[in-house]
Amino acid sequence: MKPYLVLIAGILFGAIIGWFAFPAILYHSSDQPLHFSHNTHTGESGGMACTDCHTTNETGRFQGIPSVIKCAECHASPIGESVSEKQLVEHYITPNVEIPWLVYSRQPDNAYFPHAAHVTLGKMKCEDCHGPHGSSDTLRIHYTNRISGYSRDVWGANISGFSSNRWEGMKMDKCVRCHGDNNRRDGCVSCHK
């Protein structure tokens, strides 16, 4: 066999392993603890806004996933006959136990992202960063990086880091690019505390 064919075959083999096998080894997949439909809550039948459940505190810091107390405001008793609704009430609301949701967008502890500044001052919509997640009927599988413990959503679904949608991935280069496009020249300490 000619040496250049061996080289080409080796490069192709390495690319295939890196592109398909590496992500399968690097990420662990998990289902969310309950079925949840954002569309049921925010669609025409629900009529809720994102901010009805996902709130910010007095400093503008995002409070994250709603507590079970927030869920109990509407779900003190089961609404409907679904298995998830019964599990929600019996396993979480009645005993006042927080739901162990897996977070798609958890950032490092040294990164501060002020949702209020972006939504209120920047007039951004939740969909600008989170895509169609708020209108989904089911929660997608959560992929956890076995090394860092962060969701694959932080990097993006494509292992190359290139995304087909502007809302895919939450890496710092996207923040820097958006701030540059909007003539924001914030220093490092604006986000890294």
pTM: 0.78
87 in a domain, yes or no?
A: no
60 belongs to a structural domain: no
pLDDT digits (tens, 9 = 90+) for 125-181: 888 888 888 888 999 999 999 998 888 888 777 766 677 777 788 878 888 888 888
| Number of alpha helices (DSSP H) and beta strands (DSSP E) in the chain | 10, 2
The terminus-to-terminus CA distance of the chain in angstroms comes to 58
For residues 112-131, one letter each, b for 16 or more C-beta atoms within 10 angstroms of the residue's C-beta and e for the rest, the string is eebbeebbeebeeebeebbe
Tell me the residue range of the domain where 153 lies: 26-33+102-193
Per the structure, the count of domains in the chain is 1
pLDDT tens, position by position, 36-81: 999 988 877 778 888 888 887 776 667 778 999 999 999 988 888 8
Cβ(110)–Cβ(192) below 8 Å: yes
pLDDT tens digits for range 73-132? 999 888 888 899 999 999 999 999 999 999 888 877 788 777 877 887 788 888 888 888
The token pair at 150 is 């962060």
Whether 50 is covered by a domain: the verdict is no
Q: Does any domain span residue 89? A: no
Tokens of 76: 């003190």
Asked whether 144 and 102 are in contact (CB, 8 A), the reply is yes
In a domain, 162, yes or no: yes
19 in a structural domain: no
Is residue 49 in a domain?
no
Residue 142 within any structural domain of the chain = yes
Q: What are phi and psi of 118, to 5 degrees?
A: -75, -40
> Contact, 135 vs 38, CB < 8 A?
yes
